[in-house]
Structure 1
């Protein structure tokens, strides 16, 4: 039994360093995807509220597609399909060499597009909770639309959206396991490789489960702290916005 656990160590024959590397790539791609996906999701939510009908339709089509298509298929389309299109464009432009999309970038784009589709619904719900009168009051104070959004709307938006965005983050953290299929050496890639070499599936997949669970527990604690901080002023007035 001790010999099996030695496979998780950092000595000769151990997979400890490889597992740490895989864990760092998993958390790195999740953290890189988060701001991209949330910012794009907010832009899509704002597009859905646009006065331009074509922009609203385009945003609706986007969310329908990326909420309905499996994440793995989106990843394949970005990594293989988009790469082929860009390579053809590369050749047509007469550029030297060839174009190759790094797996990390492909994973970040694909997961970010899926995240943006789901987070846009969270942003929409939060935007709908902001009373129109607050924007009117900001305009009366001489604030531009951009200033009103940044100084008045967005702080309230974050407070309302945080629980839903926290759930989006937890889902994203687990979906990073899909990038192993495009040879990015994340936790799942490393543990699958270790299982093939050692024939110890319970040991290594159990280690992967423990790592994901650790990340999830830290995330849940951090999100809880952020929510408590965001709600401090709101709770102080008995839950009423002043």
Structure 2
């Protein structure tokens, strides 16, 4: 048993460094994908609520397709087709092809998936803002940007945090799906280590503990953020 634990050492012949590097890659993709997906979600939510008919229809197609197709299929499709499409566009403008790194492609794929779900979470949060607050802001002559910063964002944040926190945890787990396209994240690194040493239980348990540690740390930060966002709100009577 203790001899097997030596396989987790970060020094050869241990595979600990490989697992930690895979975990770092997973974390980078999750943070980047969630962040860019959140930006897509903000634009999509306001587009659905305040955009024209064409904008709303295009966004409805985007969110419907992404939420309907299994994420594994989307990852394979976007990972390979995204690079081909970009190089095809570059060829049309007489530019040479580019070699997209696995990290950038992984962030792009997760961001596209996250953007569709973030759009609906944020749209619901914006609609939860009491209309009376917005009418009062307009009556005071606030500009749209000032109303967004002083009224809409602070009021919608408590409604959006639970949904966004779930999306963040989903993003951390979706990175494991990138193993099917050969991206060196934690799951692929675990498979390589376990396949070489035949210590499957040891390495997959270690990977599970790394994911668990990430989840526990995320939950701690999310609770702090949610507590701060709800500061000053009046609690409804039981």
TM-score (norm 2): 0.93
State the 1:51 CA deviation: 5.1
Output one character per residue of 1:125-144: Cα deviation in whole Å (capped at 9) or x when no partner. 21111122222221222211
Offset, 1:153: 0.5
Judged with a 3 Å threshold, the aligned counterparts in structure 2 of structure 1 residues 134 and 196 are, in CA distance, closer, same or farther, namely same
**Cα contact 2:125–2:156 (8 A) shared by 1:** yes
SS in 1 for 2:160: helix
Cα shift readout 1:118-169 (whole Å, capped 9, x = no counterpart): 1222112211111222222212222111211112101111111101111111
In the alignment, which residue of structure 2 is the partner of 1:38? 38
Q: Is 1:142 matched with 2:141? A: yes
For residues 183-222 of structure 1, what are the alpha-carbon distances to aligned partners after superposition, in whole Å with 9 as ceiling and x for unaligned?
2211111101111211111111111111001101111111
The alpha-carbon deviation at position 102 of structure 1 amounts to 1.4
Counterpart in the other structure of 1:7: 7
In structure 2, the partner of 1:64 is 64
37-46 or 134-143, larger mean C-alpha shift? 134-143
**TM-score with structure 1 setting the length:** 0.92
What secondary structure is seen at the aligned counterpart in 2 of 1:11? coil
SS of equivalent residue, structure 1 residue 49: helix
Structure 1 portions without partners, runs of 5+: none
How far is 1:74 from its partner?
Answer: 1.5
Equivalent runs, 1:202-241 vs 2, <5 Å: 202-234=201-233, 237-239=234-236
Distance 2:215 2:134 in 1: 37
**What SS does the corresponding residue of 1:232 show, helix, strand or coil?**
coil
Contact 1:7–1:14 (CA<8 Å) still a contact in 2?
yes
Residue-by-residue CA offset, 1:78-100 (whole Å, 9 max, x unaligned): 2211212222333343334x322
> Could you tell me which residue of structure 2 aligns to residue 82 of structure 1?
82
Task: Tell me, in whole angstroms, the C-alpha distance in 2 between the residues paired with 1:176 and 1:105.
Answer: 13
Separation in 2, partners of 1:142, 1:39: 28
**Which structure has more RCO (C-alpha within 8 Å, separation ≥ 6)?**
2
Output aligned runs, 1:106-121, within 5 Å.
106-121=105-120
- Ranges in structure 2 where 5+ consecutive residues have no aligned partner: none
Q: How many angstroms does 1:181 deviate by? A: 2.3
**Is the CA contact 1:63–1:117 (under 8 Å) kept in the aligned structure 2?**
yes
Partner residue of 2:28?
Answer: 28
Q: How many residues align?
A: 237
